[in-house]
């Protein structure tokens, strides 16, 4: 088993996040690493760095992400692959999702990253269930940020776009071989949309019936890929 295969095999991947980081760095040091493999490793590298609060390398990771994103943009909608580790559309959204996590961890401004995520809704020709989960996570975080900034029209527009996207995704479910896995992804996507709809209902009523799930605390718990108390605080700080 080569290093990349070992990295992909979660069953044998180290439990210690610092060992995973070391494995990622060893793989990324290869000069001939294919783009799709680089994206897969880079995404995990970012999440593990956030998990262990490794701030010292966050700027280097941000520079690497910017380069790889630019490489992926030119390849969107081109390849016919639907696999999550080979399809350029999925890899693009996966990397942008890791990027907004990194932006928030660095206390930067992820608005341009969120805007790129939302533009993808309009240009994506595949409407993949596998892609929908990461897209929905970003849409939820962005929509709450728009809400607290008072940009309600953009929040409503985003909610409608995501709903239409998910309808198309469910219609395309038959293209995937392991439907139980992708239905699970879709369930998470709908959960994010449910939360956004609660925000729309919040706007329509002064009673605050939906403030249990339409809140910084709840969204900071369910939307991120990084599940840690420290990153949840990063999220809440971003919403302040």
Domain boundaries in the chain? 3-239
Contacts of 151 (CB under 8 A, 6+ apart): none
Answer whether 219's CB lies under 8 Å from 191's CB. Answer: no
Q: pTM for the complete prediction?
A: 0.91
The sign one gets for the Cα dihedral 25, 27, 29, 35 is: negative
pLDDT tens digits, one per residue of 134-152: 999 999 999 999 999 999 9
**Residue 98: other Cβ atoms inside 10 A:** 25
From CA 173, how far away is CA 179, in angstroms rounded?
Answer: 7
Tell me the average pLDDT of the chain: 86
Q: What is the pLDDT of residue 130?
A: 82
CA dihedral 229, 182, 8, 22 (to 10 degrees): -20
Contacts of 67 (CB under 8 A, 6+ apart): none
Q: What is the pLDDT of residue 52?
A: 93
From CA 129, how far away is CA 188, in angstroms rounded?
Answer: 10
pLDDT classification of 206: cutoffs 50, 70, 90: low
3-state SS, residue 84: coil
16: left (phi over 0), alpha (psi -120 to 50) or beta: beta
Could you tell me where the beta strands, DSSP code E, fall in 2-121? none
75 vs 160, more confident: 160
Q: What is the pLDDT of residue 56?
A: 67
CA Rg value for the chain: 18
Q: What is the pLDDT of residue 158?
A: 96
What end-to-end distance do the CA atoms of the chain give, in Å? 47
Cα 141 vs. chain centroid, distance in angstroms?
10
Answer whether 80's CB lies under 8 Å from 90's CB. Answer: no
- Is pLDDT of 168 > 80? yes
């Amino acid at each position: 088993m080569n290093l990349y295969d070992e990295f992909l095999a979660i069953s044998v991947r180290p439990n210690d996040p610092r060992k995973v980081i070391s494995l990622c760095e060893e793989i990324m040091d290869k000069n001939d690493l294919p783009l799709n493999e680089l994206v897969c490793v880079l995404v995990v590298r970012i999440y593990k760095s956030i998990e262990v609060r490794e701030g010292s390398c966050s700027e280097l990771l941000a520079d690497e992400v910017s380069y790889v994103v630019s490489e992926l943009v030119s390849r969107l909608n081109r390849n016919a692959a639907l696999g999550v580790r080979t399809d350029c559309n999925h890899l693009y959204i996966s990397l942008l999702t890791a990027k907004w996590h990194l932006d928030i961890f660095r206390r930067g401004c992820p608005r341009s990253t969120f805007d790129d995520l939302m533009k993808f809704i309009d240009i994506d020709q595949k409407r993949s269930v596998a892609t929908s989960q990461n897209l929905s996570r970003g849409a939820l975080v962005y929509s709450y940020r728009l809400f607290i900034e008072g940009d309600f029209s953009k929040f409503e527009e985003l909610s409608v776009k995501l709903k239409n996207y998910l309808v198309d995704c469910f219609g395309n479910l038959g293209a995937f071989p392991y439907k139980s896995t992708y239905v699970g992804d879709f369930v998470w996507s709908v959960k994010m949309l449910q939360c956004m709809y609660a925000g729309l209902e919040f706007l329509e009523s002064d009673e605050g019936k939906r403030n249990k799930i339409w809140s910084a605390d709840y969204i900071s718990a369910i939307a991120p890929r990084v599940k840690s108390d420290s990153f949840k605080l990063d999220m809440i700080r971003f919403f302040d």
